[in-house]
Amino acid sequence: MAPAETVQIPFLTAAEALTPKLSYTEERPKDVVTFVPDDKAFLRHTKVVQYNASRLEDKWFSSGDEFIVDFGGHRTGYLSFYLDAQGENVDCPARLRLTFGEVPGDVVEDFYPSKSWISTSWFPHEEAKIDELPGQVNIPRRHAFRYVRVQVLEVSSKFKICFRKIKCYAVTSACKKVAPVEGCDFNLIDTVGLRTLRDCMQTVFEDGPRRDRRLWLGDLRLQALVNYVTFQNNDLVKRCLYLFAGLRMDQKVMASLYERPEPRVSGDYILDYELLFVVTLLEYVEATNDISTGRELFGICQNILERNHQEYIKDGIFQMKPGVWYFIDWHDDLDRFASMQAVFVIAFKAAQSLANKLDIGVDYTEDIRLLSEGSLALYDEDKGIFLSNGQISWASQAWMGLAHVLPQEQHVRAIQIAMQNPNAIRANTPYCYHYVLEALFKNGARDACLALAKDYFGGMVDRGADTYWEAYREDDSTFSPYDDHHNNSFCHAWSCTVSWFLRL
């Protein structure tokens, strides 16, 4: 039997009512630029400013001409311009190619051929044929970009075109002005984080405004955390919780969902993400004191825990099953057993806290005890670290640290030992890195956490990030979970949590 979609209309109706109003801001490009290949630059290119973008008003272009505008910062929005045309005879349409760049490689490197295993239809280019010249051109698709490469593919030889009043109507549901963190040297690092979250906050928390433009449960938790201490659009978190609650499949809260054309789940299910629904709801209730939402959705948390406990836990030990997606990180070599064990502990503890807060009489004490015991069995006392089927990884230490199965200082030490081990499986994404940082923080190592955050996120900024990237390895700017860095997202909300740590 095909899995049944469990659509709960009241939850969807609640979500619909919480759809935020988007704010639109007009942004003008700063410069017309080129990029010079540069082996020494992390992003492989160095920008050269050609002239101020206001001078485009005097530039006339023919077939084969092109230019790149730099908006000076990343935005999610809609491109528009007035396409002027002058000459002996404006006698045909103009065919343009527009390529939207979050990073320089987007606008100067060839997309094809590609080895990407996700669809190349994500590549941020499109053709526009403009029939009526001169005239206003509003590109109807939303894009995420700092740079736009404009190529004049075909016009006639009888006229030239001029791109006037190029603009981006930047769009977001993050409307509140956020104060910078007082007395800290993280200002730019924080700004990049806030910008990242702002550009992902639309009518849901999108993972990335370029790709997938989709609400993912694992990403939601991190975005929500940052949101509570910055933009405080808490109804957007609530809306997303109701969407996940309203669109389950075979009772499962799925890993991601789409809003349009109408809300629906994707086919993706990720066990650790589903367990994090419980944590996300707890944190929402803690941030808002919205007890009624907590009560309304607590039944789903119970279902998540009890169903998955029955399916995956035997004698307090997580049982890996083939064909199930455990995310933890984008890393081919990572053994996820220990991390998953820890996620179970975390979810049960969160549910217990939530039940206590909501005054609901459930008692997971025994489950927590058994799962914690199972976790401790993975701890190698001699080495001072958790092993996952013998493997040492940052992720295992991080998740166990958040499960709090040992005294704080031992968790901190486990993380530090793993990070100092060159053979350990490291974090490939800011998502996984976040959990390393959070585990340090929550185990009392605030300074170590911030130093590491400064090093990591500051490193991304130093290497050219306007917004934080979905995937980041300091040693390889072309690393991609999708086998092609052109399909990476360079404004990815799961990477914005430095702005949370700075405000704790």
CB 448 to its own copies: min, Å:
38
How many CA within 13 A on the CB side of residue 331?
22
Q: Which of residues 101-130 bind its own copies (CB under 8 A)?
A: 118-122, 126-127, 129
Task: Based on the shown chain and the rule CB under 8 A, indicate whether residue 131 belongs to the binding site for its own copies.
Answer: yes
How far apart (Å, rounded) are the C-alpha atoms in residues 174 and 172?
5
The residue among 205, 402, 429, 440 whose CA lies nearest residue 330 is 429
CB 207 to its own copies: min, Å:
12
Task: Kindly tell me which of 118 and 175 has the beta carbon lying closer to its own copies.
Answer: 118
The phi and psi torsions of 72 (rounded to 5 degrees) equal 85, -5
Task: Based on the shown chain and the rule CB under 8 A, indicate whether residue 260 belongs to the binding site for its own copies.
Answer: yes
The residue among 8, 157, 10 whose CA lies nearest residue 90 is 157
Task: Based on the shown chain and the rule CB under 8 A, indicate whether residue 213 belongs to the binding site for its own copies.
Answer: yes
Judged by CB under 8 A, the residue of 20, 72, 73, 134 near its own copies is: 134
Task: Based on the shown chain and the rule CB under 8 A, indicate whether residue 80 belongs to the binding site for its own copies.
Answer: no
CB 83 to its own copies: min, Å:
10
Question: Which of these ranges, 42-50, 133-141, 296-304, 334-342, lies near its own copies under the rule CB under 8 A?
Answer: 133-141
The phi and psi torsions of 215 (rounded to 5 degrees) equal -85, 115
Task: Based on the shown chain and the rule CB under 8 A, indicate whether residue 95 belongs to the binding site for its own copies.
Answer: yes
Cβ neighbors of 39 (< 8 A, separation 6 or more) are: none
Question: Which of these ranges, 52-60, 81-89, 169-177, 294-302, lies near its own copies under the rule CB under 8 A?
Answer: 81-89
How far apart (Å, rounded) are the C-alpha atoms in residues 235 and 379?
40
Task: Based on the shown chain and the rule CB under 8 A, indicate whether residue 315 belongs to the binding site for its own copies.
Answer: no
How far apart (Å, rounded) are the C-alpha atoms in residues 270 and 495?
19
CB 391 to its own copies: min, Å:
30
Task: Based on the shown chain and the rule CB under 8 A, indicate whether residue 87 belongs to the binding site for its own copies.
Answer: yes
Residue 147 forms beta bridges with which residues? 70, 101
Task: Based on the shown chain and the rule CB under 8 A, indicate whether residue 158 belongs to the binding site for its own copies.
Answer: yes
Task: Based on the shown chain and the rule CB under 8 A, indicate whether residue 267 belongs to the binding site for its own copies.
Answer: yes
Task: Based on the shown chain and the rule CB under 8 A, indicate whether residue 19 belongs to the binding site for its own copies.
Answer: no
Element (H, E) at 259: none
Task: Based on the shown chain and the rule CB under 8 A, indicate whether residue 217 belongs to the binding site for its own copies.
Answer: no
Asked if 350 and 357 touch (Cβ cutoff 8 Å), the reply is: no
Asked if 114 and 124 touch (Cβ cutoff 8 Å), the reply is: no
**DSSP secondary structure letter of residue 415:** H
Judged by CB under 8 A, the residue of 268, 286, 306, 373 near its own copies is: 268
Question: Which of these ranges, 1-9, 36-44, 176-184, 263-271, lies near its own copies under the rule CB under 8 A?
Answer: 263-271
CA angle 408, 413, 416 (to 5 degrees): 130
Residues that bind its own copies (CB under 8 A): 63, 87-95, 118-122, 126-127, 129, 131-135, 141-142, 153-158, 211-214, 258, 260-261, 266-268
